[in-house]
């Protein structure tokens, strides 16, 4: 399939008089890292919220792999193949790292929680598959030593990685991350850069919302710029850096970062 993995068509999300996302049309291409940047309040998180079924669109459409996502619930969007992380990690603090990642695995298309709960045929196979995959992911992301720790007791940086692991456990085709590097130390951000590139290297399309310009410029193949709910620009990192409109709306104020 060569078409864009995600098509945003005339999308709007208004909150009363606030036009958080206002008639945005853009594409997220398959198999690359696309960054979504813009000033505070530009509508980046709102766009992710609409695309992931967390909040409904006021108008317009989100199409994923040719299938309309607008109008679907977040669990249906996840089953279709979109995973996401949140600006503030949304984990279960009283569950362990392993349990949090298992939750992600149960959101996978072919795994049925009902089948597992009712011990119907296929339940054991589902559970075994989930178990093996979870162990592999915990190992790969360096979470194995803390697998039995409660997530609420972990440092912030590790919580961010657990949220990534949970998203990967659902075997997404598109992974949307909302400011995964915010609140992290410089060394942790370096680790995140490698992780993002590794995820993309597996063929997972990434949509990265991020204010850390070094991280954006060193990972993104394409950049979308939002400002006041509108798409201000889209292009390669070089094109975006050279854009006067982007400089005055956003990059100027972040030049020192």
User: In whole angstroms, what is the distance from residue 26 CA to residue 7 CA?
Assistant: 6
Instruction: Name the residue among 67, 138, 46, 66 with its Cα closest to residue 96.
Output: 138
With contacts defined by CB under 5 A, name the span among 9-17, 60-68, 86-94, 235-243 that binds Mg ion: 86-94
29 binds, among Mg ion, ligand ATP, none (CB under 5 to 8 A by kind): none
By beta-carbon proximity to Mg ion, the closer residue of 126 and 178 is: 178
Number of residues that bind Mg ion (CB under 5 A): 3
Within 87-146, the residues that bind ligand ATP by CB under 6 A are 87
CB of 184 to ligand ATP, least distance (A): 16
With contacts defined by CB under 5 A, name the span among 39-47, 98-106, 135-143, 225-233 that binds Mg ion: 39-47
Beta bridge partners of 26: 8
CA distances from 217 to 1, 33, 38, 213, 241 (A): 27, 11, 14, 6, 9
Within 13-42, the residues that bind ligand ATP by CB under 6 A are 15, 18, 20, 38, 40-42
Q: Is 45 in the site for Mg ion (CB under 5 A)?
A: yes
Q: Is 72 in the site for ligand ATP (CB under 6 A)?
A: no
Residues whose CB is less than 8 angstroms from the CB of residue 18 and which lie 6 or more positions away in sequence, other chains included: none
Instruction: Name the residue among 86, 196, 217 with its Cα closest to residue 141.
Output: 196
CA distances from 213 to 165, 209, 249, 251 (A): 24, 11, 14, 9
- Written as six digits, the tokens of 240 are 């975006």
CB of 190 to ligand ATP, least distance (A): 22
Applying CB under 6 A, the residues found at the interface with ligand ATP are: 15, 18, 20, 38, 40-46, 87
Applying CB under 5 A, the residues found at the interface with Mg ion are: 44-45, 87
């Amino acid at each position: 399939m060569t078409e864009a993995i995600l098509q945003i068509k005339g999308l709007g999300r208004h909150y009363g008089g606030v036009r958080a996302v206002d008639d945005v049309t853009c594409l997220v291409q398959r198999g690359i890292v696309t960054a979504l940047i813009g000033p505070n309040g530009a509508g980046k998180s709102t766009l992710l919220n609409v695309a992931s079924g967390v909040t409904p669109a006021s108008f317009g459409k989100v199409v994923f792999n040719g299938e309309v996502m607008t109008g679907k619930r977040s669990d249906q969007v996840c089953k279709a193949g979109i995973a996401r992380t949140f600006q503030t990690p949304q984990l279960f603090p009283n569950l362990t790292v392993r349990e949090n990642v298992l939750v992600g695995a149960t959101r996978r298309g072919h795994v049925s929680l009902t089948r597992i709960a009712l011990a119907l045929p296929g339940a054991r196979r589902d559970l075994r598959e989930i178990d093996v995959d979870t162990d592999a992911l915990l190992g790969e992301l360096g979470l194995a030593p803390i697998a039995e720790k409660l997530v609420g007791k972990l440092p912030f940086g590790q919580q961010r990685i657990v949220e990534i692991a949970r998203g990967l456990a659902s075997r997404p085709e598109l992974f949307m991350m909302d400011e995964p590097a915010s609140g992290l130390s410089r060394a942790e951000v370096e680790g995140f850069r490698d992780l993002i590139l590794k995820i993309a290297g597996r063929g997972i399309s990434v949509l990265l919302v991020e204010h850390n310009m070094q991280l954006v410029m060193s990972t993104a193949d394409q950049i979308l710029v939002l400002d006041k709910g509108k798409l201000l620009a889209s292009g390669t990192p070089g094109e975006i850096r050279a854009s006067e409109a982007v400089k005055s709306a956003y990059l100027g104020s972040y030049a020192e970062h």
